[in-house]
Structure 1
Amino acid sequence: MLSVSFMPSGEATALPPALLPSDPTLEHYRALFTRLRLARAFANSALLAAAVTAVSLLLNALAGYAFAKLRFRGRDRLFRALLAALVVPGQVGMLPLFLMLKEMGLVNSYLGVLVPGLASIFGIFLVRQYALSIPDTVLDAARVDGAGELRIWWSVVLPLCRPILVTLAIFTFMGAWNDFLWPLIVLSDEDLQTLPVALANLLGEHAQDVELMMAGSVLTVLPVVVLFALFQRHYLEGITAGSVR
């Protein structure tokens, strides 16, 4: 994919096929950002993915801590009900969710894309399971020192949950960055389209331009690869935490 994106037009479909570009060029990347105006779609995806990740981490961390360490009426029943909802495919709720957002005037807006991803049952479950491993004595010591629940969550729980939060952040960012169906349904304005939707539109117009499409695919994959490379240590800690605790 990376090699093809640097090939001159037509070289990828030539016979015999070449593994490396004979004359590397950036013309396809320039075309994406100038002639095809993909820079706006790239910025839209980056903005939405970052916003969804930030807000989702906040809400999932709060809810996960509450389900793990706070005692309130109906806690376990509510958590089991949330887990039961995991078996329902997300596509089932898209129509009623779209109708609700339409009534609220959020269709064809960034908020319309953001709202469904602001919290996830999987994220709550992930944080809750990790927070269960935090000793109650640590939290009780903070309470004895006069710390409130929010202070305990911020100063004690979040630092201890950093590996799983980084893991959840990567999962959330990847899901929001690669999301195609929901932005396609909600956004009709071309200036608001995300990168996957914009690339799908290009596919219909430039299906024969393999090199151009591969350049677009590289742009789609690159942020996720960079994110994983930066936080892979914490990601691996979060993934393996359940097996060593």
Structure 2
Amino acid sequence: MMFPLYWMVVSALTPGGQSPSASFSLWPDQPTLANVTEVFQTQPVWRWIGNSLFISAITTAISVAVSLGAGYALAKFRFTGRTVLYAASLLTIMAPIQVTIVPSFLVVARIGLVDSPWAVILPTAFDVVGIFIARQFMLGIPDALLEASRVDGAGEIRTFFSVVMPSCGPLVGVLVILAFMARWNDFLWPMVVLQGNENLTIPVGLSTLTNNPAFASPWGAVMAVATVTVLPILLVFLVFQKQFVQGIASTGIT
């Protein structure tokens, strides 16, 4: 599992990278940062990273908020059509993005969001998997605790923020990691709706390097950018790893 990551770093430090036709080496004879320097000087990599961070952060915040609210409503409220609504939401997981990509693009184009970060953010803010995980977690919160809060005079909003949310730390950790990873690594939808080179996300920008005439051998540039793109994912996981493990365990037990 770790070897491909190791090979990626080695290729990034190898002059010209390690192309598929070149001889393979476990460590370069003369390690250098020339690949990193060249690609960052000739391509708008910092802009790509900034675009990805903006899209991932905004989408993660919206997705987590929607998942928490919807999961709480589906787990603790009784209303007509709840089961049908929940089942219909789960059915959307079965539809691959290739089925919905054309109508989604037409909607985005009609409202004038093509080549805008919001064209990526808005269609992906509703995360059914996040809602499912939130609902499963909140089923484990005792109803008696919520009833006690309401008897004490707390409204639904105060009950949610003062009683439910303090126990949802592990759940938030799970939702943040899953949502951020999904948006940071998303490739197909950003490739469709983002057209200008300056507006690309890092996965889409990375794909343009393989056929870029600016590089005699693109593999060093590709591996250099790929190595940098792994760092935000590692940082997010290290920050939320404790909550992630607790949340997955709690959801599974429920």
TM bucket normalised to smaller = over 0.9
- Which of 136, 146, 152 pairs up with 2:153? 146
CA contact (8 A) 2:211 2:218 kept: no
Instruction: Provide the aligned C-alpha RMSD in A.
Output: 1.8
Structure 1 stretch displaced more, 185-194 or 6-15? 6-15
* Shift in alpha-carbon separation, 1:76–1:207, aligned structure 2, 3 A: farther
- Which of 131, 151, 161 pairs up with 1:124? 131
* Match runs of 1:176-191 below 5 Å: 176-191=183-198
User: Which runs of 5 or more residues in structure 2 are unaligned?
Assistant: 1-7
The equivalent of 1:50 in structure 2 is 57
The equivalent of 2:230 in structure 1 is 221
- Which of 63, 70, 74 pairs up with 2:70? 63
- Which of 113, 124, 128 pairs up with 2:120? 113
* One-letter amino acid of the structure 2 residue matched with residue 223 of structure 1: P
Aligned residues: 245
- Which of 101, 108, 126 pairs up with 1:94? 101
Structure 1 stretch displaced more, 9-18 or 169-178? 9-18
- After superposition, give the CA deviation of every residue in 1:112-133 in whole Å (9 maximum; x if it has no partner): 1111111111111110111000
- % identical aligned pairs: 39
User: Which runs of 5 or more residues in structure 1 are unaligned?
Assistant: none
The equivalent of 1:5 in structure 2 is 12
* One-letter amino acid of the structure 2 residue matched with residue 237 of structure 1: Q
* Shift in alpha-carbon separation, 1:96–1:209, aligned structure 2, 3 A: closer
Q: How far apart in 2 are the matches of 1:98 and 1:107?
A: 8
- Which of 167, 170, 173 pairs up with 1:160? 167
1:204 paired with 2:204, answer no
CA contact (8 A) 1:4 1:211 kept: yes
Q: How far apart in 1 are the matches of 2:253 and 2:193?
A: 42
Q: Give the secondary-structure state (helix, strand or coil) at the position aligned to 1:204.
A: coil
Residue 48 of structure 1, CA deviation: 0.4
- After superposition, give the CA deviation of every residue in 1:57-109 in whole Å (9 maximum; x if it has no partner): 01111111000011222111211121222211122111111111111111111
CA contact (8 A) 1:56 1:119 kept: yes
The equivalent of 1:234 in structure 2 is 243
CA contact (8 A) 1:32 1:39 kept: no
**TM-score, structure 2 normalization:** 0.90
1:171 paired with 2:178, answer yes
Structure 1 stretch displaced more, 210-219 or 17-26? 17-26
Q: Give the secondary-structure state (helix, strand or coil) at the position aligned to 1:76.
A: helix
